[in-house]
Amino acid sequence: MLAGFASWSLLWPAVGLSRSLYLKELYVAGAYRRGGTGRMLIDGLHRITAERGCSRMEWATDDRNTGAIAFYEWIGAKPLASKVFYRAAVEQPGIVTGPCAASAFKRPSGSLTRRGVSLCMRAYETRAALSLLPLRTGPLRVRCSY
Spatial contact of 133 and 141, defined as CB atoms under 8 Å apart? yes
Instruction: Look at residue 61 and tell me whether its pLDDT is greater than 90.
Output: yes
Q: Which residue has the higher pLDDT, 121 or 29?
A: 29
3-state SS track over 73-87: HHCCCCCCCCCCCCC
User: Is the pLDDT assigned to residue 69 strictly greater than 90?
Assistant: yes
pLDDT tens profile 86-141: 877 777 666 555 554 444 343 444 444 444 443 433 444 445 566 666 655 555 55
Residue 22 has pLDDT above 80, yes or no: yes
85 confidence band (pLDDT: 50, 70, 90): confident
- Burial profile 36-64: b = 16 or more Cβ within 10 angstroms, e = fewer: ebbebbbebbeebbeeeebeebebebeee
Q: Is the model more confident about 20 or about 139?
A: 20
Please check the confidence at residue 12 and state whether its pLDDT lies above 80. Answer: yes
Torsion angle of the four alpha carbons 99, 104, 106, 111, in this order, in degrees rounded to the nearest 10: -150
Specify the higher pLDDT residue, 140 or 57. 57
pTM exceeds 0.85: no
CA dihedral sign, ordered 102, 105, 107, 111: positive
Between these two residues, 7 and 118, which has the higher pLDDT value? 7
CA 117 to chain centre: 31
pLDDT for position 25 = 92
Spatial separation of the C-alpha atoms in residues 9 and 146, rounded to whole Å: 9
Q: Which CATH number, 3.30.70.270, 3.40.630.30, 1.10.3720.10, 3.40.50.720, labels domain 4-81+124-145?
A: 3.40.630.30
Q: Which amino acid is at 10?
A: L
Going from N- to C-terminal start, the domains of the chain cover 4-81+124-145
